[in-house]
C-alpha cells in the first residue's frame, strides 16, 4: 500500500521535512511546526482517497506521519476483503477512524463505527464529516456481554489508542471516565435494519475482546464472515489466558485462523502487527 500523502500544501511540506534527513531535536521541531502551522493536526490522504487528520504528538499519528502508514498488512487485508465483497464493515474500537474512513471510501460499503472514548469519538466524527461520508454510522458506546457501566482508562498518556476498560475501577475513583456498555448484538439489532451479515468485524479494544465477542450471537444473523482481531501477547495472556484458548474459541465456532499475511495461525509464532484473521469456514478467502 502506498504511504499517506499530505492533503494540503502545509501537510505535504511537514511530511516531507519529517521524513527527510535527521538532525538533533528534529522530533520536537516537527511537532512544534505542526502546532504552529497546522493547528496540531496534519491531514493525510490514503487508501481509496480517504482523508483523516492525525496528531503527530500521539503515538499512532506519529507512526503514520513518519512511516506513511499504520498496521499496513492488516489494513490492506481489510481493504481486500471489503473490495471483494462490499457490504457491512464493523469497526469496534474505531479510535479516530483509520479503518473506518478507509473502508467507507469503498463503493458499496456500509460502516458501523463503535468507539467508547469521548475524545477519540469526537476525532472520529470529525474525520467522517471531513470525508462527507453518508455510509458511516458512529456509536459512542462500549460493547460487552450486556448492559453495564464501565470505567475507561488510558494505559499510555502518549497513545490515545490505549484507551481500555479499567480492570480494577471503583465507583469512588473520580479519575475514571465512565461509559455505558451494551451487547454488540443489541447495537446491531437497533442500528442494522434489516439485519445484514457483516463481511468484516475488526476488534481492537486493548484486551476487552473476549467480552465484546461474548455479546455476539455467532448463530444469529450477524455472524461475521471475517474477524480481524488484536492478539497482543501481553493482553492475550491477561484476557484469554493463552493463545491456545484464543484459538479454541474461534475453532469451536467454525473459524479458521491466520495471521494478517495469510499464514495459518500458530500459537508459538510471532504475529505480524499483533493481529489475527479469523475466517468463517463457509466463506471464501
pLDDT in tens, the chain (285 residues): 789 999 999 999 999 999 998 999 999 999 999 999 999 999 999 998 999 999 999 999 999 999 999 999 999 999 999 999 999 999 999 999 999 999 999 999 999 999 999 999 999 999 999 999 999 999 999 999 999 999 999 889 899 999 999 876 554 444 578 999 999 999 999 999 899 999 999 999 999 999 999 999 999 999 999 999 999 998 888 899 999 999 999 999 999 999 999 999 999 999 999 999 999 998 754
Report how many helices (DSSP H) and strands (DSSP E) the chain contains, helices first. Answer: 10, 14
CA distance 268 to 279: 20
Question: Rounded to the nearest 5°, which phi and psi values hold at 279?
Answer: -115, 125
CA distance 181 to 174: 19
In the 8-state DSSP scheme, what is residue 272? Answer: G
Beta strands in the chain (DSSP E): 5-6, 42-46, 50-54, 88-92, 110-114, 136-139, 142-144, 148-154, 163-165, 177-183, 198-203, 226-230, 255-259, 275-280
As assigned by CATH, the class of the 72-280 domain is alpha beta
Pairing mode, if any, of strands 198-203 and 88-92?
Answer: parallel
The x, y and z cell numbers of residue 231, run together, are 492478539
- Rg of the Cα trace of the chain? 19
The pTM score is 0.95
> What residues does CATH 3.40.50.150 cover in the chain?
72-280
CA distance 102 to 83: 11
The x, y and z cell numbers of residue 182, run together, are 451494551
Please tell me whether residue 257 adopts helix, strand or coil conformation.
Answer: strand
**Helix (H) or strand (E) run with residue 114 in it:** strand 110-114
Tell me the HSE value of 228 on the side-chain side, using a 13 A CA sphere. 29
Q: C-alpha dihedral over 200, 60, 46, 96, to 10 degrees?
A: 60
Amino acid at each position: 500500500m502506498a504511504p499517506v500523502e499530505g492533503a494540503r500544501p502545509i501537510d505535504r511540506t511537514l511530511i516531507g521535512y519529517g521524513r527527510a534527513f535527521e538532525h538533533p531535536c528534529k522530533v520536537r521541531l516537527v511537532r512544534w511546526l505542526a502546532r504552529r502551522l497546522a493547528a496540531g493536526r496534519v491531514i493525510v490522504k490514503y487508501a481509496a482517497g480517504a482523508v483523516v487528520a492525525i496528531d503527530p504528538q500521539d503515538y499512532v499519528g506519529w507512526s503514520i506521519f513518519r512511516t506513511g502508514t499504520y498496521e499496513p498488512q492488516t489494513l490492506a487485508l481489510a481493504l481486500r476483503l471489503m473490495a471483494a465483497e462490499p457490504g457491512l464493515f464493523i469497526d469496534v474500537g474505531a479510535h479516530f477512524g483509520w479503518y473506518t474512513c478507509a473502508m467507507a471510501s469503498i463503493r458499496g460499503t456500509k460502516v458501523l463505527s463503535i468507539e467508547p472514548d469521548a475524545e477519540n469519538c469526537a476525532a472520529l466524527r470529525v474525520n467522517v464529516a471531513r470525508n462527507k461520508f453518508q455510509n458511516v454510522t458512529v456509536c459512542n458506546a462500549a460493547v460487552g456481554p450486556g448492559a453495564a457501566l464501565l470505567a475507561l482508562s488510558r494505559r499510555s498518556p502518549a497513545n490515545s489508542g490505549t484507551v481500555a476498560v479499567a480492570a480494577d475501577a471503583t465507583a469512588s475513583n473520580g479519575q475514571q471516565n465512565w461509559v455505558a456498555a451494551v451487547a454488540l448484538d443489541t447495537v446491531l439489532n437497533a442500528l442494522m435494519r434489516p439485519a445484514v451479515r457483516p463481511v468484516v468485524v475488526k476488534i481492537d479494544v486493548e484486551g476487552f475482546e473476549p467480552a465484546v465477542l461474548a455479546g455476539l450471537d455467532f448463530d444469529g444473523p450477524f455472524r461475521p464472515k471475517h474477524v480481524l482481531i488484536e492478539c497482543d501477547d501481553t493482553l492475550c495472556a491477561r484476557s484469554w489466558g493463552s493463545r491456545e484458548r484464543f484459538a479454541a474459541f474461534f475453532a469451536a465456532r467454525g473459524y479458521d485462523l491466520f495471521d494478517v499475511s495469510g499464514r495459518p495461525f500458530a500459537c508459538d509464532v510471532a504475529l505480524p502487527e499483533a493481529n489475527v484473521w479469523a475466517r468463517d469456514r463457509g466463506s471464501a478467502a
